[in-house]
Amino acid sequence: MRDLFLAYQSLFAYVGINALLALSVYATLSCGQLSLANAGFMAIGAYTGALLTLHTGTSWPLVLVASALLPALVAVPLGLPVLRLRGVFLAIATIGFGEVVRLFFVNWSFANGALGLVAIPQRASLWLIWVCVGAALWVFARLRGSKTGLALQAIREDETAARSMGIDTTSHKLAMLSLGAGLAGLAGALEAHLTFMVSPAGFGFGRVVEMLVQAVVGGASIFFGPLLGAAFLTTLPEILRELSARTGLQPGAFRQMLNGLVLLAVILYLPNGLASLPARLRERKAVK
Amino acid sequence: MSLRLREVARSFGGVKAVDGASFEVAPGEVHGLIGPNGAGKTTLLNLISGLLQPTSGTIELQGRRIDKLPSNRIAALGVSRTFQNIRLFPELSALGNVVVGLHLKRQGLIWQRLLALPAPRREALQAEATARALLARVGMQAREADAAKNLSYGEQRRVEIARALAADPRVLLLDEPTAGMNRPEAAAIGELVRAVAREGRAVLLIEHNVPLVMKLCDRITVLNFGKVIARGTPAEVARDPQVIAAYLGDEEAA
């Protein structure tokens, strides 16, 4: 067991970071907003953390706080105009923001442009990453069923009716965008201090799609869904690698194809995500 | 005066949906808003509750202008409503819907909640008890745990009224509260509306059930093509030749 843990230590670290990122997308999904700015927020957090560590003597806890705080603050002036948009328009506007951030770092010579920053000391330990995941899960768990949590659910289900109940929908949506941005920034700083490097290429559109898919496959209607999705989709390629090695089947393309098929199966048969599996099984039993 | 509309107009493109409507609703009054389909009744309710802004004219709540405010601010000032096409939160339970209606009355306690202190739990239980009492008031206490989407049409209407009452409004706007209900059910809603008005609330009611409106309302405003064509007590309105031509005449012929 100990050997297994050591062998897959970096995998567990990535599950944790991906869980934070999936939760950052879940934050806005929980009030019905499809915001895809999170790769941009992650980049801001990663660069903030890396630059503070490389150029100042800031202590590691303060680096993490700053890396979460800056994107959370940036989310406010971004959110005020774009959260007026709904559905696909919000998604497009926030993709635009993510690209602007990425291109900013590509062209920022102080941060080495497209090459990015290297030789960042490794400070993100496995336990620290999972403490962050635990804290994020705690916040979402406590929100559930609270006055604020109910207001968020009401906004998700019918924004107009929610406003008519006196719920200030704008500030609720803004708060969740900011919370998600903070989580993404935190994950960015953790990743930078785990992999020794940051580069703009890591924060493209593909990255935010990855976060979104993990949140949705895990189940975007309950707080622990994103964790399940991140764990499942981060470990699946590794499991398939093992399988193809042991069965002697050709790895490579075959593995990726299988990865896609599993994803398709989950979306088709568990539209509410992995988190809905127990309820789904109970339902089937009841029907029989 | 709880609610006062002066020359309120709203047009969509070239169409004048509401064209210079003026009337007042007093505390404790049940005020009927009637008129043929497309007369602008629902548009008027949307203007009062802030889902739409008037093109011209003013709307005052207790002397304070509300016609430029967003709908959540208007709700906070004491205007609550139901919707013609029912807008409950479909996945929430009947009870959950009414608890959301209590939003303005509840304490936030978000930090205490994050620290897992006991106060928010007590507050939530209190809110649930209040919501339960409101569900009982509309006769829905037995269905509190059911998701709103699984309730029948009439049941959904009743939960929506409970949700609107949860905000403890000064002005209650009801858009066809008895649509889809049978006669005893509609009569029960009529009783409830009277009781709500007796608590000193102003009720503005859109209703197609003419006998019910005539029995229930203290005063009636009749709209046709966005204009007020008559106003007064039910008896006065029923005698008005313009009303008979535009609206009641059709009913009698049918």
**Both structure tokens of B190:** 């009529």
Q: What is the pLDDT of residue B254?
A: 39
pLDDT tens column, B41-86? 999 999 999 999 999 999 999 999 999 999 999 999 999 999 999 9
Using a CB-CB distance cutoff of 8 angstroms, which residues of chain B are in contact with residue A169?
72
Q: What is the C-alpha to C-alpha distance for residues B83 and B157, in angstroms, rounded to an integer?
A: 9
pLDDT of residue B252: 47
In tens, the pLDDT along A9-65 reads 889 999 999 999 999 999 999 999 999 999 999 999 999 999 999 999 899 999 999
- The answer to whether residues A244 and A255 touch, using CB atoms and an 8 Å cutoff, is yes
pLDDT band for position A187 (cuts 50, 70, 90): very high
Chain A residues in contact with B119 (beta carbon < 8 A): none
By the 8 A CB rule, do A91 and A85 touch?
no
Model ipTM value? 0.92
- Tens of pLDDT, residues A120-136: 999 999 999 999 999 99
Torsion of CA B134, B135, B141, B144, to 10 degrees: -120
pLDDT tens figures, A192-223: 999 999 999 999 999 999 999 999 999 988 99
pLDDT at residue A78 greater than cutoff 90: yes
CB contact under 8 A, B103 and A165: yes
The residue of chain B nearest to residue A163, with distances taken between CA atoms, is B72
Which residues of chain A neighbour B104 with C-beta distances below 8 Å?
165-166
Question: Number of CB pairs < 8 Å for A and B?
Answer: 85
CB A214 within 8 A of CB A22: yes
Q: Is A1 helix (H, G, I), strand (E, B) or coil?
A: coil
Rounded mean pLDDT, B186-215: 93
* A65-88 mean pLDDT: 95
**SS3 assignment, position A198:** strand
Mean pLDDT on B168-189:
93
On whether any CB of chain B is under 8 Å from the CB of A154, the answer is yes
C-alpha pair distances (Å), A62 with each of A41, A53, A70, A186:
18, 10, 12, 11
What SS3 class is residue A219? Answer: coil
Phi and psi at A215, nearest 5°, equal -65, -45
Rounded average pLDDT over A265-285: 86
Residue B75 is nearest to which of A148, A150, A165, comparing CB atoms?
A165
Instruction: Give residues with Cβ within 8 angstroms of A252, minimum separation 6.
Output: none
Q: What is the pLDDT at residue B250? A: 53
Average pLDDT over residues B24-34: 95
Task: Please tell me the predicted confidence (pLDDT) of residue B26.
Answer: 95
Interface of B with A in 23-62 (CB under 8 A): 49, 51
- DSSP bridge partners of B58: B6
A56 CB-side CA count, 13 A: 11
Instruction: Answer whether A165 sits within 8 Å of B106, measured CB to CB.
Output: no
Residue B146 clears pLDDT 90, i.e. is over it: yes
pLDDT at A140 over 90: yes
- B149 near A CB under 8 A: no
Interchain contact B157–A (C-beta under 8 A): no
Helices and strands, number each (H, E), in chain A = 13, 0
pLDDT given for residue A250 in this prediction = 64
Q: Are the beta carbons of B110 and A146 separated by less than 8 Å?
A: yes
Using CA atoms, how far apart are residues B51 and B175, in angstroms rounded to an integer? Answer: 14
Distance CA A45, CA A12 (A): 21
CA nearest A16: which of A135, A139, A175, A140? A135
Contact A166 B76 (CB under 8 A): yes
B107 at A interface, C-beta within 8 A: yes
Which residues on A lie below 8 Å from B163 (Cβ)? 165
Match 């739409």 to its residue by tokens: B52
- 3-state helix/strand/coil string of chain B: CCEEEEEEEEEECCEEEEEEEEEEECCCCEEEEECCCCCCHHHHHHHHHCCCCCCEEEEEECCEECCCCCHHHHHHCCEEECCCCCCCCCCCEHHHHHHHHCHHHCCCCHHHHHCCCCHHHHHHHHHHHHHHHHHHHCCCHHHCCCEHHHCCHHHHHHHHHHHHHHCCCCEEEEECCCCCCCHHHHHHHHHHHHHHHHCCCEEEEECCCHHHHHHHCCEEEEEECCEEEEEECHHHHHHCHHHHHHHHHHHHHC
Main-chain phi, psi angles of B172, to 5 degrees:
-115, 125
User: Which candidate, A233, A167, A39, A267, places its Cα nearest to that of B108?
Assistant: A167
Question: If you average pLDDT over every residue of chain B, what do you get?
Answer: 92
Q: Which of B72, B96, B108 shows the shortest C-beta gap to A166? A: B72
